[in-house]
Structure 1
Amino acid sequence: MTTTEITIARVYTMEGRDHLNRILDILHNEEKIKGLTVIRGIAGAGASGEIHTSSLLDLSLELPLIIEFYDEPLKVEKAIHELQSRLNLKHIVSWPARAHIHSIS
């Protein structure tokens, strides 16, 4: 097993803001980030304090999205800089982690 130092980052945004496809394009096609996952929330509250939820009676187009990605620390820092400068994203968090990779022999 090999252990590698990585950085994990999360972008918090909302549906309906035209960010998702642009973020995916930057991370996948331009920055070639190794790991990338999009998580759709069922409820969340933003800076406004308003709760957005997905109920059968209230199908909101403003549900929370989390775009999580990881790679080598310098690649993640560069990707965060690109996202912030090009899309003016305000809610990105990151932290160091270790990836444990099991090689198949």
Structure 2
Amino acid sequence: MKKESSAILLRIFIGESDKHKGKPLYMHIVEMLKEEGIAGATVFRGITGFGKQSYIHTTSILRLSTDLPILIEVADTEENIAKIRPKLDEIITEGLVTEEKVKIVFYGS
């Protein structure tokens, strides 16, 4: 069975060393998203990247970084994304969040 709908794709760009109350920020965000009933989230760990300060973070053995880029992707309804935005505002102190409208094609029974 195939089902199509529109949604919002939320991308949260943070650093691996970012913390919230002593816990990795990405874990705190994923747990909060689950508690809020968000459809799903995926965390990606980047191998190289740079941000506002233009410092390159990389997995290169010559420049081993302890603060690699982290990307959290979330796709859900516009209403559900709007519901979690204030909570993200409270816990993200440094990073970048993007939103875009997407078409979801869900395959399943």
TM-score of Structure 1 vs Structure 2, range by shorter chain: 0.7 to 0.9
Report the counterpart of residue 5 of structure 1 in structure 2: 6
Q: Which residues of 2 match residues 1-105 of structure 1 at below 5 A? A: 1-18=2-19, 19-28=25-34, 30-104=35-109
Uncovered stretches (5+) of structure 1, i.e. residues with no partner: none
TM-score w.r.t. the length of structure 1 is 0.87
- Give the TM-score taking structure 2 as reference length: 0.84
Structure 1 residues 103, 20: CA separation in 2 closer, same or farther (over 3 Å shift)?
closer
For residues 39 and 24 of structure 1, the distance between their equivalents in structure 2, rounded to whole angstroms, comes to 12
Runs of at least 5 residues in structure 2 that lack an aligned partner in the other structure? 20-24
RMSD: 1.5
Once the two structures are superposed, residues 68-100 of structure 1 have per-residue CA deviations (whole angstroms, 9 ceiling, x without a partner) of: 001111101221221112333541001111111
Cα distance between partner residues in 1 of 2:67 and 2:3: 41
Question: Alpha-carbon deviation of 1:31?
Answer: 1.3
Q: Percent identity?
A: 28
Runs of 4+ aligned structure 1 residues displaced above 6 Å come to: none
Question: Does the CA contact (< 8 Å) of 1:26 and 1:83 recur in 2?
Answer: no
The CA distance in 2 between the partners of 1:24 and 1:68, in whole Å, is: 10
1:4-49: per-residue Cα shift (whole Å, max 9, x none)?
A: 1111100000011121121111111x21111211011011111101
Q: Secondary structure at the match of 1:57?
A: helix
Instruction: Work out whether residues 42 and 54 of structure 1, in 8 Å CA contact, stay in contact via their aligned partners in 2.
Output: yes
Counterpart of 2:27, as a letter, is N
2:22 maps to what in 1? Answer: none
